[in-house]
Chain A
């Protein structure tokens, strides 16, 4: 547990620095970037990158449920799993599959960390983690990187 606590502090400092960097990167960008406008003709897509900051490497086998909000409730669209590298084998949604709406990626962090015997309390601080975001233009690419460990997570609109 003591090792985990040290890691936690380091990761929190890292995340705060990271958030500041992300902010500076995002400043001045509009909702439609030049790159996004170029992509509009080819259709949008949804991709993700799950980065395990506990292991310091991107492991496979994180189960993620993708849902879309319909009539006030999330409806499951598909379940995907990360491969080596922390991404999914194919885009989560491509072309016509991506529609304007509110989405949720539910990360099964509890079973992921149990899978390789991480030292966690019972119940773990983070179990099933919902990552919610809106897609406001189906012609754009939405890349959602997620940095996570047993004590924190962060996500943002990437590129």
Chain B
């Protein structure tokens, strides 16, 4: 399988990060152009792939994870401004025939991303 997918894991609770808003953008002509906004489901994944294999081209992409909004929505008390707020993850697709799984592991004080599978 090719294409782009993500998975949000809430490392504070050890649960999937459900209901997190994510903005997906593509780098074009020197700037990131917003393509779509998605929200994670109960499993912390998105119902549809961020980008299907057919849509995925070699290039640079950004997933902007609205982490502070997610925690605020759960009634978590955060400082102002929060330490971790909107987290951009910028990555390249260098071979469109490969799958790019880009998870976000977060707490209000940490975040981690990697190329998964």
Contact = CB atoms under 8 A, between A and B. Distances in A.
Interface string B98-117: 00000001010111111110
B11 interface: yes
A127 B114 CA distance: 13
Interface in B41-100: 58, 60, 79-88, 90-92, 94-95
Contacts of A152: 112-115
Count class of interface residues, chain B: 20 to 34
B112 A136 contact: no
Contacts, number: 97
B110 A154 contact: yes
A157 B106 CA distance: 12
A134 to B, nearest CB: 3
Given A8-B115, A154-B110, A102 B85 contact: yes
Given A132-B87, A136-B79, A12 B111 contact: no
B107 A26 contact: yes
A125 B79 contact: no
Given A19-B11, A123-B92, A152-B115, A157 B109 contact: yes
Contacts of B95: 121
Given A15-B114, A151-B115, A156-B110, A125 B11 contact: no
B83 A16 contact: no
Interface of A is mostly: mixed
Interface of B: 11-12, 58, 60, 79-88, 90-92, 94-95, 105, 107, 109-116
6 contacts: A15-B112, A100-B81, A123-B94, A132-B85, A154-B110, A154-B113
Q: Which 10 pairs of residues, A with B, have the shortest CB-CB distance?
A: A152-B114, A134-B81, A136-B79, A156-B110, A154-B112, A121-B94, A123-B92, A151-B115, A157-B109, A19-B11
